[in-house]
């Protein structure tokens, strides 16, 4: 066993530690790209504000704690609800007016919204970041022998996996999910069956946004609560979405986790490329299979 | 088409007036501001060539602007040329072969920057045109972000510091560019030259084919046009001209930083074009000067620049999608009610195409 580590030239703690970090990043990629895919499927809009809404999720948790004394566990439920409701207001006020126009206008509008949201939070809270402590139940960690696992990080991976699978079940196995999928395929026909498609669209946007906010709450104790925490992440998530293709819910989840792991591995073996490896993968996928790994062929 | 046929008698007059204003302007307005405006106007016009006339929304044009700024700054200050090579076996690392050279004169440094941007445009464009619509925007954004991280790490960009104190040098080895008037007129001349190149491109048969592809890509393909090749060439031209803009910017402000390759800059060029009017000739220039003005006056208010820019984005998309110049043209056309042309729809191809195929 030890000869393997000697051959690789790295201690196992470093390898598994980075793989864990990669898995955490992958969890965030998965939750965000899942939300993007949901929204895109229903609204035909790429939600550029997704990163800003993720940031708002983290801030919502921070506000709940510091202004109302509401802790982490309720915030995990309340923050997505609050930010999701905010998202639905955005959809009703702004996005609704763009249906039927070219998809690019949705991208431009949500880009503008992202600039506004980030600018407002930057104006109010600077860009240095605010601390948010993990709940006492999740502090500390376990020594697994080959690596040290901080409890909170383990929790993030488990929680995100549960949420991703839950969303998948919701979409694939429930009546509401069946309506959603049908409305994605043919909104006019579903409307004709007496289902309120505009309400479903609003709900879908709210759900996607809530997923982003949930990811934001999970991220708050790991990264500090920072107005710019979403803007760089969202570009990587775009690359993840291009790699996976937005055709499949499960596809975007798997792609998210895989790319997080790959990024972690790169940090171990070739750290200079760890920032760029996902973009390189995107370029390669585009050259070989332009519609993405799980995308439907045109 | 739209620019020429629309008020054809007024157009030469308008251009003459604009030229006269541009020549007289540095005696009335701070030349640094005018040069910033001209650089951004060229950047936006280059971007508009792609968005307005091919219908491709690139969200990564800062890559060409900023990278050309770095290359020009480096060549004008140090002159050393680096050639990359890769050793895959012993230690898998990228190495740089250094060819020592004296600092380049400004015109050669700009050509060098433009060349680098053109090459980069060939690579990024070649990958990005494999997807359309929204995906194209995301791919260009992601690839530009990759270049951003490259610029953070590459030694020649000097990381967070950027390349500072770039000498403006002597144009053709003779004219002192430290004089802000000579610098201004040089920037103006370069701008006019590039503007003419863009005009020539738009009104050439090549440009007509681009518009055909924008309006209906499957039909253009069925008529025998290699749409991908046309799109790639348009992308490369746009990237090269954006590179000229970035190179000029580096010489004017004597600094090349990470700001220029950041996605914020990509967003700003989209904003200028959207605000001024996509697919109009003068729109990007109007938008560029307005955005430059916003940056100038709100610079002291920190995050307010981005809030304000966001509000303009939202307002443009919701209220006046044709942009300022586009709305004026539509208004005048409405007054004359003679013209048959569609009101510069800019990007409608994918939603109108018979086989959007989920793009």
What pLDDT digit, counting tens, does each position of B118-131 carry? 999 999 999 999 88
Q: Does B63 touch chain A (CB under 8 A)?
A: no
Segments forming the whole domain that contains residue A224 = 17-228
* pLDDT of the residue at B351: 39
Residue of A45, A102, A266 to mutate for B, most B C-beta atoms under 10 A: A102
**Neighbouring C-beta atoms of residue B101, cutoff 10 Å:** 11
Nearest Cα of chain B lies from the Cα of A254 at a distance, in angstroms, of: 20
Tally A–B CB contacts below 8 A. Answer: 143
Number of domains in chain A: 1
Partner-chain residue, chosen from B134, B312, B321, that has the shortest CB–CB distance to A107: B134
* pLDDT of the residue at A126: 84
**Is the pLDDT assigned to residue B345 strictly greater than 70?**
no
* pLDDT of the residue at B242: 96
Q: Please tell me whether the interface predicted TM-score (ipTM) of this complex is above 0.90.
A: no
**Is the pLDDT assigned to residue B146 strictly greater than 80?**
yes
Where are chain B's structural domains? 28-85+94-266
Is A98–B303 a contact, with Cβ atoms under 8 angstroms apart? no
- Quick one: tokens of B172? 């053709």
Asked whether residue A284 is assigned to any structural domain, the reply reads no
Asked whether residue A236 is assigned to any structural domain, the reply reads no
* pLDDT of the residue at A4: 66
- Please check whether residue B71 is in contact with residue B244, taking contact to mean a CB–CB distance below 8 angstroms: no
Average pLDDT, chain A: 88
Partner-chain residue, chosen from A108, A117, A238, that has the shortest CB–CB distance to B138: A238
Partner-chain residue, chosen from A118, A119, A247, that has the shortest CB–CB distance to B304: A119
* pLDDT of the residue at A251: 86
* pLDDT of the residue at B86: 74
To the nearest whole percent, how much of chain B has pLDDT over 90? 50
To the nearest whole percent, how much of chain B has pLDDT over 70? 88
Q: What is the pLDDT of residues A87-143, one digit of tens each?
A: 999 999 999 888 888 888 999 999 999 999 999 999 888 888 888 888 888 888 888
* pLDDT of the residue at B69: 95
Q: What is the pLDDT of residues B39-65, one digit of tens each?
A: 999 999 999 999 999 989 999 999 999
Is A115–B350 a contact, with Cβ atoms under 8 angstroms apart? no
Residue that wins the pLDDT comparison between B298 and A5:
B298
How confident is residue B7, by pLDDT bands cut at 50, 70 and 90?
A: very low
Partner-chain residue, chosen from A116, A270, A287, that has the shortest CB–CB distance to B307: A116
Residues of chain B neighbouring A115 (CB-CB closer than 8 A): 267, 306-307, 309-310, 313
Partner-chain residue, chosen from B141, B270, B307, that has the shortest CB–CB distance to A119: B307
- Quick one: tokens of A25? 């990043």
Is A102–B350 a contact, with Cβ atoms under 8 angstroms apart? yes
Q: Rounded to whole angstroms, how far apart are CA atoms A61 and A215?
A: 11
How confident is residue B298, by pLDDT bands cut at 50, 70 and 90?
A: confident
Is B141–A112 a contact, with Cβ atoms under 8 angstroms apart? no
How confident is residue B166, by pLDDT bands cut at 50, 70 and 90?
A: confident
**Is the pLDDT assigned to residue B350 strictly greater than 50?**
no
Nearest Cα of chain A lies from the Cα of B192 at a distance, in angstroms, of: 29
* pLDDT of the residue at B13: 86
* pLDDT of the residue at B140: 93
Residues of chain A neighbouring B303 (CB-CB closer than 8 A): 118-120, 122-123
Is B153–A272 a contact, with Cβ atoms under 8 angstroms apart? yes
DSSP state of B95: E
- Pick the most confident of A37-41, B83-87, B233-237: B233-237
Q: Does B159 touch chain A (CB under 8 A)?
A: no
* pLDDT of the residue at A112: 94
Nearest Cα of chain A lies from the Cα of B304 at a distance, in angstroms, of: 6
User: Which residues does A47 contact at the CB level (< 8 Å), separation at least 6?
Assistant: A35, A36, A39, A40, A53, A106, A110, A205, A208, A209
* pLDDT of the residue at A297: 52
To the nearest whole percent, how much of chain A has pLDDT over 90? 46
Q: What is the pLDDT of residues B170-200, one digit of tens each?
A: 788 778 888 888 899 999 999 999 999 999 9
Q: Does B118 touch chain A (CB under 8 A)?
A: no
Nearest Cα of chain A lies from the Cα of B112 at a distance, in angstroms, of: 26
- Quick one: tokens of A9? 């030239």
Residue of A111, A242, A297 to mutate for B, most B C-beta atoms under 10 A: A111
* pLDDT of the residue at B120: 95
* pLDDT of the residue at A181: 87
Q: Rounded to whole angstroms, how far apart are CA atoms B72 and B79?
A: 9
Least confident piece of the model among B82-86, B241-245, B261-265:
B82-86
Nearest Cα of chain A lies from the Cα of B354 at a distance, in angstroms, of: 13
- Mean pLDDT calculated for residue range B222-241: 94
User: Which residues does A280 contact at the CB level (< 8 Å), separation at least 6?
Assistant: A273, B146
Render the burial of B13-28: b for 16+ CB within 10 Å, e for the rest.
eeeeeeeeebeebbee
- Please check whether residue B80 is in contact with residue B285, taking contact to mean a CB–CB distance below 8 angstroms: no
- Mean pLDDT calculated for residue range A52-78: 93
Can you list the positions of beta strands (E) in chain A?
Answer: 141-143, 148-150
Q: Does B321 touch chain A (CB under 8 A)?
A: yes
Is A122–B306 a contact, with Cβ atoms under 8 angstroms apart? yes
Is B143–A279 a contact, with Cβ atoms under 8 angstroms apart? yes
| CA–centroid distance for A73 within its chain | 19
- Pick the most confident of A153-157, B221-225, B243-247: B243-247
**Is the pLDDT assigned to residue B341 strictly greater than 50?**
no
Nearest Cα of chain A lies from the Cα of B119 at a distance, in angstroms, of: 16
A46: left (phi over 0), alpha (psi -120 to 50) or beta: beta
Is A123–B274 a contact, with Cβ atoms under 8 angstroms apart? no
**Is the pLDDT assigned to residue B6 strictly greater than 50?**
no
Asked whether residue A26 is assigned to any structural domain, the reply reads yes
* pLDDT of the residue at B1: 39
Is A242–B131 a contact, with Cβ atoms under 8 angstroms apart? yes
- Mean pLDDT calculated for residue range B243-259: 93
* pLDDT of the residue at B134: 84
**Is the pLDDT assigned to residue B357 strictly greater than 80?**
no
Q: Rounded to whole angstroms, how far apart are CA atoms B280 and B326?
A: 6
Is B309–A275 a contact, with Cβ atoms under 8 angstroms apart? no
The CA–CA distances, whole Å, from B326 to A3, B240, B331, B342 equal 69, 26, 8, 11
- Mean pLDDT calculated for residue range A209-234: 92
Nearest CA in chain A to B346: A102
């Amino acid at each position: 066993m030890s000869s393997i580590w000697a051959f690789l030239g790295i201690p196992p703690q470093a390898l598994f530690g980075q793989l864990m970090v990669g898995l955490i990043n992958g969890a965030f990629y998965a939750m965000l790209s899942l939300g993007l895919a949901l929204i895109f499927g229903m609204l035909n809009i790429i939600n550029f504000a997704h990163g800003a809404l993720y940031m708002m999720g983290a801030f919502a948790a921070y506000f709940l704690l510091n202004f109302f004394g509401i802790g982490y566990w309720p915030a995990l439920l309340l923050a997505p609800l609050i930010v999701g409701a905010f998202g639905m207001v955005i959809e009703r006020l702004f996005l609704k007016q763009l249906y039927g126009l070219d998809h690019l206008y949705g991208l431009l509008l949500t880009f503008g919204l992202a600039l506004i949201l980030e600018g407002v939070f930057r104006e109010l809270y600077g860009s240095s970041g605010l601390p948010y402590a993990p709940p006492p139940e999740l502090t500390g960690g376990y020594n697994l022998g080959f690596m040290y696992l901080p409890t909170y990080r383990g929790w993030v991976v488990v929680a995100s996996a549960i949420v991703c699978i839950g969303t998948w079940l919701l979409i694939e196995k429930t009546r509401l999910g069946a309506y959603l999928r049908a409305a994605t395929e043919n909104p006019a026909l579903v409307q004709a069956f007496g289902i309120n498609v505009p309400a479903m669209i609003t709900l879908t946007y709210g759900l996607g946004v809530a997923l982003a906010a949930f990811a934001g709450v999970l991220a708050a104790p790991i990264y500090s609560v920072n107005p710019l925490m979403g803007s760089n992440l969202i570009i990587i998530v775009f690359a993840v979405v291009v790699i996976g293709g937005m055709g499949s819910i499960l596809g975007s989840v798997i792609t998210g986790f895989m790319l997080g792991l790959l990024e972690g591995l790169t940090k171990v073996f070739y750290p200079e490329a760890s920032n760029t490896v996902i973009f390189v993968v995107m370029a390669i996928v585009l050259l070989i299979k332009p519609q993405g790994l799980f995308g439907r062929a045109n | 088409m739209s620019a020429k046929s629309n008020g054809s008698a007024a157009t030469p007059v308008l251009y003459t007036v604009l030229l006269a204003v541009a020549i007289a302007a540095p005696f009335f307005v701070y030349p640094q501001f005018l040069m910033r405006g001209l650089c951004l106007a060229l950047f936006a016009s280059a971007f508009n060539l792609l968005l307005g006339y091919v219908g491709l929304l690139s969200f990564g044009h800062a890559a060409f602007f900023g990278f050309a700024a770095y290359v020009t700054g480096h060549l004008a200050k140090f002159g050393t040329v680096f050639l990359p090579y890769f050793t895959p076996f012993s230690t898998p690392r990228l190495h740089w072969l250094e060819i020592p050279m004296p600092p380049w004169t400004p015109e050669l440094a700009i050509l060098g920057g433009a060349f680098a941007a053109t090459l980069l445009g060939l690579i990024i464009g070649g990958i990005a045109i494999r997807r359309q619509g929204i995906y194209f925007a995301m791919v260009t954004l992601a690839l530009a972000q990759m270049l951003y991280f490259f610029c953070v790490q590459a030694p020649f960009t000097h990381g967070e510091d950027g390349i500072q104190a770039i000498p403006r040098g002597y144009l053709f080895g003779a004219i002192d560019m430290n004089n802000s008037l000579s610098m201004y007129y040089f920037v103006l001349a370069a701008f006019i030259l590039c503007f003419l190149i863009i005009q020539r491109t738009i009104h050439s048969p090549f440009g007509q084919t681009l518009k055909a592809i924008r309006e209906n890509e499957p039909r253009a393909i069925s008529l025998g046009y290699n749409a991908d090749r046309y799109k790639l060439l348009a992308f490369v031209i746009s990237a090269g001209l954006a590179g000229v803009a970035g190179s000029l910017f580096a010489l004017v402000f004597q600094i090349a930083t990470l700001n220029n390759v950041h996605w914020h800059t990509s967003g700003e060029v989209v904003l200028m074009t959207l605000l001024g009017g996509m697919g109009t000739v003068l729109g990007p220039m109007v938008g560029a000067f307005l955005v430059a003005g916003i940056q100038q006056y709100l610079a002291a208010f920190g995050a307010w620049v981005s809030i304000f820019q966001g509000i303009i984005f939202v307002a443009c998309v919701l209220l006046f999608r044709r942009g300022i110049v586009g709305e004026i043209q539509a208004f005048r056309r409405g007054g004359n009610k003679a013209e048959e042309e569609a009101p510069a729809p800019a990007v409608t191809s994918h939603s109108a195409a018979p086989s959007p195929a989920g793009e």
